[in-house]
Structure 1
Amino acid sequence: MIGGYARLRVQEQVRAVAFIIAYLIIFQLLILRAPLGDALALTLGVSAVVIGLALFLEGLVLGLMPLGELAGVKLPQRVGLAVILLFGLFVGLGSTLAEPAFAALRLAGRDVTPWGSPLLYVLLEQHSYTVILSIAGGVGVAVALGMLRFSLGFSLKPLVFSLIPLLLILSLIASRDPKVRSVIGLAWDSGAVTTGPVTVPLVLALGIGVSRSSGNRGEGGGFGVIMLASALPVASVLLLAMALAPSVPDPVEEEHFFSPAYRERALGVVIDEGTLLRSAFSQGSEAGRRAFFSDGRSYEETLHELGSDFALRESLLEGISFRDWVNHRASDFERRLLDEYPLENFSGEGERSGRGVFSRELQGALRAVVPISALLIALLFLLRERPRYIDEVLLGIVFALLGMAFLTSGIHFGLGPLGDMVGREIPRAYRSSERGSDRIVIDRFDPELVFESISADGEREQFFFYHRGDQPQAIPFRPEQFDPHRQRYEHRLQLPPLFGPNLTALGIALVLLFAFGLGFGSTLAEPALRALGRTVEELTVGTIRGQEVVLAVSIGVGVGIVAGVCRILFDFPLLWILGPAYLVLLLLTAVSSELMTSISWDCGGVTTGPVTVPLVLALGLGLGGELATLEGFGVLALASAFPIISVQLFGLIAQFRQGQAIAPDQEAQ
C-alpha cells in the first residue's frame, strides 16, 4: 500500500517534468544536433529532481501546510493585528529561505565575470546570502502588508498603482549607473524565485485564515498577496545593490582587471589573489591569464603545473574538467603548450562527488526548513494548540528536508547543466561563427599527405585523409595549425551553423519558436497553476473556466520567454521590454475587476516553479554567456510579467462575453 502511494507521488512528478526535460533533450539532439555531454550525470540529476519533488511536496502536505493552516486559523482568534503582522513578517522570511529554487540563484553567479559586471559578481559571490536575506526580507514585508490588507479589506489596486511605478522608477535610476545596471535583471528575476511551493501555500493559508477571521475577505477572494511577495523583493535587491555600489569599482576590460597595476581594486571585487587567479582560468581568456602574471615565464610555468598537478586543477578550474578547459577555453598557444599532457589521461576529472554535493545541500536544507518549522511549532505551542497528527507532521518535516536536498542536488547535476547546455548551443541556429567541440592531435604529421581540391568557381582548398573509426574521412588542412618543428598537426572538430554561414531569419525564428514552446509547455505542466485554475473556477462559480486560465497563463509565459530570449540575442536593456509591459499592465488593471486584478497578478507568481526556474535561469545565463553579453538575467522576470497581461486580457474578454450573454436575457424580460 505504501509502495503504491509512493509510486503514485513519483509518477505525478514525472508527468510534471517529463515534457520540459524531453523538449530540451530533443531540441538539443535532433534540432541542434549537439551531444548531451555527461548523460549519466544528467540522468541522475533529473532523477534526483523527480524524487526530491515527490518527497518535498509530500513533506509540505504532511508537515508545513497543516502547521501553517492551523496557525492561520487560530492566530487571528487569539492575538491582535500587530502580532499577526509580525508573525506574517517572520513567516514570509522563513518560507522564502526554504524555497528550493534559491539553489538556482546560487549557481547563477558562475558565468558572471568580475570585470564585466563587478557589482553583480560581488552580490552573487561575496554577498549571496545577503541577497537571499534581502529577498526574504522583501517577502516578509509583503506578507505582513498582505495580512494588513486582508484584515482591513482594502483593494489591491492602490498597492499595484503605487508599487509598480516605484519599482520602475528604481530600475530607471539603477539603469543610469553602469555598475547597478547589471543588477536590474537579477532584481526582477528574484521576484519570480520567491513564489514557489513553500511560500505560496503557507502565505495563502495564513492569509485566508486572517481574512475569514476578520470578515473582510472582499472581492479579491484571498488573492493578491503573491503579487506583493513578487514585487517587494525587486525593491530590496535594487536598494541593496545601490548601497554596495560605491564600494565596487566600475566595469573594465579583462586584461586591465587582472593586471598587477589594478590588483588592489580587483581585490575589492574578489576575495583574494587565489580567487582572482581562479577567475582568470575558469572565466577568463589567455589575455587575462597573461595579465595576471608579471612575466611570461611564470604564466607558462603555471600552465605546465596545471597539466601535472591535480590539486592545482581542482583549485583553478572550479569543476571544469581539464579536457573541457583545454578544448573550449584554452587558446591555441595554451593548447600547444599543453600538448605533452594527453587529454585521454584526464577523463572524469572535474566531476564533483555526488555524495559531497548531497551532503552540502542537506546542510542547506536543514538551514532552510528547520527555522520555518520551528517558528510554526513554537507559535502553536504559545497558542496552546496541538496538530491533530503530530507524527505525520514530524514525518512531513523529515520528507521536506530530504526532498529539498535531493531537489537542489538534482538542480546542480541535472536541470542547471541541461539548461546551460541548450542555452549555449542555441546561437548555432543562426550565428555564422563556428564553435569547436573537440580536437584531434596528430603526431609525426607528414605534409606530403596534404591534397588540394577545387570548387566550381575555382576556389582551392587543402585537405588530408584521417582514419577515424572504420573509414577514412577528409579533414581540412589549415597551415596555422601545423607545427613543423614538432611535426604535429592539431585539428579542431567544428560544429557548423545549422542554417548556413550567414545570419538567417529562419534560424532566429527557430530559436524564438523553441523559446515559446519551452515556456508554453513547461507552464502547462506546473501543478500550482492547475490548482490555481481550479480555485478560480470555484470562486467564479464556473463563469471563468480553470482550463482557460491555464491556457492564458501558458501563452503569456511563452511570449515572456520569447521576449527574454530576444533581449539576450539582440543585447538591449531589459527595461525596454519590462517598462512598456508594466505600463500596459497598469492600464489593464485600471479597467479590470478587483477579482481579476488579484487573480492575474498572482498568476505571475505561480508560473515559475522549482523546475521552471532553474531551467529558464540556466538557459538565459548559458545563452548570455555564449553571446558574451554581460548577464543573462531577466528572462524569468518577463516570464512572470506577460502572463499577467494575458490573464487580464482574458478576463476582459470573459467579462465582455458574459455581458453579451446577459444582454439578450434582459431585453427579453
Structure 2
Amino acid sequence: MLEHPKRTLKHSRTILVEKVKESLSSVLPITGIVFLLCFTIVPVPNHLLLAFILGAVFLVLGMGLFTLGTDMAMTPIGEHIGSALTRSRKLWFVIAVGFLAGTIITVTEPDLQVLAEQVPNVPNAALIWSVAVGVGAFLVIALLRILLRIRLSYLLIGFYLLVFLIGAFVPSNFLAVAFDSGGVTTGPMTVPFIMALGIGVASTRSDSNAENDSFGLVALCSIGPILAVMILGFLYTPDGGYQSLIVLPSAADSKELWSLFWSALPEYAHEVILALLPILAFFLAFQILKLRLDKNQMIRICVGLFYTLLGLLLFLTGVNIGFMPVGNYLGQQLGAFGQNWIVIPIGAVIGYFIVAAEPAVHVLNKQVYEMTSGAIPKKALSTSLSIGVAVSVSLAMLRIILGIPILYILVPFYLLAAVLTFFVPPIFTAIAFDSGGVASGPMTATFLLPFAMGVCQAIGGDLATDAFGVVAMVAMTPLITIQILGLFIRNSGDGRNKVTQDSSAPESLSSGDSDIIEF
C-alpha cells in the first residue's frame, strides 16, 4: 500500500532527527581533534576558530539532510533508471544512456570544480570535460560488466596496469593531479546515483550473484578520470607553479563572521542546483517515457530532492568557509615546526576520524548492510575504512616531508590490492574498490588537501608533485584494509554464505529470460 504524502512528510521529519544525530556523532571526533590542536600546540585566531565552529554546525545539519534526501530520492532514482535501462533489452540504449548520464552528472560534481580551480595552465572546462568523459565511458564498462557477468578483479587489474604504464610517461607535475581526479569525481552527487544504478541493473538478473555484482561501479568509474587526465597531460604542460587559492577568512565581529557564510550561500546554491538538474532531467525523461510512477512516489522523490539540495548547500558552505581555511592554517603551522615529522601521527589521527564525516561513506555503509542482510556489519566496514585512511594520510605526510614520488607508493600498494583479489570473496573486492572512491570525497578535498598544501608550503615543497596526491592516497589503502576484512570474515567460519560464496564464475547469459540483451 502506498504511503500518503502527509504521512511521508511526518515520517521524514522523524528520520531527519535520527540522521542529524548520526551526522553529529560523525563530525564530533574531527571537531574535537581540531579543538585539541588549537588549544595546545597550534594557536588559531579567534575568528578562524569561530568560523570552524559555525562550519561544523552547517556540516552536521547538511549531512543529516543529505543522507535523508539520498534515501528518499537519489537511491530510488538510480534504481528506477537502472531497471529501465536493462528492461529495454537494447544494448545500444544501455551504452548511450549510461555514457550520457555519467558524463553530465560528473560535470556538475562540486569536488571536481574545486580541483579544476587549483590546476594552472589548463582551462577549467578542458579538465572538467575530460574527467566527465572518462567517468561516462567507464560507467558504460561497469554496466556491461554486470550484464555480461565479467569478474570485477580482471577488469580492475587490467585497467590499473594500463594506468601505471601510461603514468610512467606522464609529466611528474601532472601525475598527482591525474590520480586525484579519480577520487574527487566520486563525490556526494555521483556516488548515490551510480551505486543505485548498479543495483537497478543487477536487479534484472535472475542468478544468485546479481546482488554481489551490483557493487564495483564506483571503483571502475574512478579509473576513467585518471586515464583521461593523463592523456590531457600530454596536451598541456603545467609549469609547476601551483598556487594555493585558499584565503583565510577575516572577521572583526560576529556579524561579519555570519556575513561570510551568508554571502557564500548563493554561490554554493548555484553549484548544487546545477548538480541536481541533470539528475532531475534524466529522471523526468524516464518518468515520461518509461517509468510512469504514481503521484505519491513522485511526491516522495521531489521532497527527497529538496532535502538533498538543502543538505548539500549547507554541507559545502560549512566545509569551504569553516573547514578548508582551518585545515590549511593547521598544516602551515605544523609544517613550520622544527620537528615537522609530527604531522605524520597527527595526519593519521585526522584521517582515521575524518572519513566518518564523508556523506558518500554513509551511503555505501547502508547499501552494503542492506545488500548483505547485515552479514557485513557497519562497524566492521567503518573501522576498516578508517584504518585505511589513517594509513593513507600518514603516508601522504611522509611523502611531502621526504619528497617521495607518488608512484613509489601507489604501485606497490595497488599491486598488493591486486594480489588480494585472488584470495578474498569477490564481493569484498568490489566493496573495497568502491570504498576507495567514496572515502575521497568533499572532506578530503576541502580539509585534507588544504592541510597537505599548508604543510607543503611551510617546508618549501612543490605543491604540484608533493601536496597533490593526498586524495589519490586516501582512495588507495581502503582497497587493502577492506579486503583483509574479507579474509577475516571468510576464515572466521561463521557460515555467512551470502558473503563468502565464490561468485567469480560467469554464468550463461541465457540462464534467465530477464538476462537477455540485444546486441
Is the pair's TM-score, using the shorter chain for normalization, greater than 0.5?
Answer: yes
- Alpha-carbon distance in structure 2 between the residues aligned to 1:82 and 1:613: 36
The residue number in structure 2 matching 1:158 is 154
- Alpha-carbon distance in structure 2 between the residues aligned to 1:633 and 1:381: 44
- Alpha-carbon distance in structure 2 between the residues aligned to 1:243 and 1:422: 36
The residue number in structure 2 matching 1:667 is none
* CA offset digits 1:412-454 (Å, max 9, x no partner): 211211211111111244x2xxxxxxxxxxxxxxxxxxxxxxx
Deviation at 1:643, TM superposition (A): 1.2
The residue number in structure 2 matching 1:449 is none
The residue number in structure 1 matching 2:199 is 208
The residue number in structure 1 matching 2:128 is 132
Within a 5 Å distance, the mapping from 1:417-428 to structure 2 comes to: 417-428=325-336
- Alpha-carbon distance in structure 1 between the residues aligned to 2:266 and 2:222: 31
| Gap change, CA 1:320 and 1:150, over 3 Å in 2 | closer
The residue number in structure 2 matching 1:481 is none
1:223 corresponds to which of 211, 215, 225: 215
1:185 corresponds to which of 164, 176, 179: 176
The residue number in structure 1 matching 2:493 is 658
| Gap change, CA 1:188 and 1:217, over 3 Å in 2 | farther
The residue number in structure 2 matching 1:273 is none
> Does the alignment pair 1:565 with 2:472?
no
- Alpha-carbon distance in structure 1 between the residues aligned to 2:321 and 2:267: 13
Deviates more, 1:97-106 or 1:567-576: 97-106
Within a 5 Å distance, the mapping from 1:65-464 to structure 2 comes to: 65-102=75-112, 104-105=114-115, 109=118, 120-123=119-122, 127-174=123-170, 180-215=171-206, 218=209, 220-245=212-237, 250=239, 353-387=260-294, 388-429=296-337, 431=338
Give unmatched runs, 5+ long, in structure 1. Answer: 110-119, 175-179, 253-268, 270-278, 284-317, 325-343, 432-502, 663-669
| Gap change, CA 1:217 and 1:186, over 3 Å in 2 | farther
- DSSP 3-state at the match of 1:214: coil
| Gap change, CA 1:554 and 1:381, over 3 Å in 2 | same
Deviation at 1:242, TM superposition (A): 1.6
Higher strand proportion (structure 1 or 2): 1
Amino acid at match of 1:628: G
> Does the alignment pair 1:511 with 2:502?
no
The residue number in structure 2 matching 1:640 is 475
TM-score for both structures, normalised by structure 2:
0.82
> Does the alignment pair 1:608 with 2:443?
no
- Alpha-carbon distance in structure 2 between the residues aligned to 1:3 and 1:208: 27
Deviation at 1:350, TM superposition (A): 12
Contact 1:153 1:216 in 2 (8 A): no
Q: Percent identity?
A: 27
Deviation at 1:192, TM superposition (A): 1.5
* CA offset digits 1:519-568 (Å, max 9, x no partner): 11223455654664565566667665443332222211111111011111
- Alpha-carbon distance in structure 1 between the residues aligned to 2:262 and 2:356: 34
- Alpha-carbon distance in structure 1 between the residues aligned to 2:151 and 2:15: 42
| Gap change, CA 1:14 and 1:97, over 3 Å in 2 | farther
Contact 2:444 2:471 in 1 (8 A): no
| Gap change, CA 1:144 and 1:33, over 3 Å in 2 | same
Q: Which has the larger radius of gyration?
A: 1
- Alpha-carbon distance in structure 1 between the residues aligned to 2:309 and 2:330: 30
- Alpha-carbon distance in structure 1 between the residues aligned to 2:426 and 2:194: 20
Deviation at 1:348, TM superposition (A): 11
| Gap change, CA 1:103 and 1:44, over 3 Å in 2 | farther
- DSSP 3-state at the match of 2:168: helix
Amino acid at match of 1:572: I
Give unmatched runs, 5+ long, in structure 2. Answer: 1-9, 498-519
Amino acid at match of 2:218: I
- DSSP 3-state at the match of 1:173: coil
> Does the alignment pair 1:591 with 2:423?
yes
| Gap change, CA 1:520 and 1:363, over 3 Å in 2 | same
- Alpha-carbon distance in structure 2 between the residues aligned to 1:71 and 1:661: 31
Amino acid at match of 1:365: V
Within a 5 Å distance, the mapping from 1:528-539 to structure 2 comes to: 528-529=360-361, 532-533=364-365, 536=368
Contact 1:34 1:425 in 2 (8 A): no
Within a 5 Å distance, the mapping from 1:478-557 to structure 2 comes to: 503=339, 508=341, 510-524=342-356, 526=358, 528-529=360-361, 532-533=364-365, 536=368, 544-557=376-389
TM-score for both structures, normalised by structure 1:
0.65
The residue number in structure 2 matching 1:55 is 65
Contact 1:561 1:636 in 2 (8 A): no
Amino acid at match of 1:224: G
- Alpha-carbon distance in structure 1 between the residues aligned to 2:496 and 2:429: 22
* CA offset digits 1:489-529 (Å, max 9, x no partner): xxxxxxxxxxxxxx4xxx62x32221111111223455654
Contact 1:226 1:605 in 2 (8 A): yes
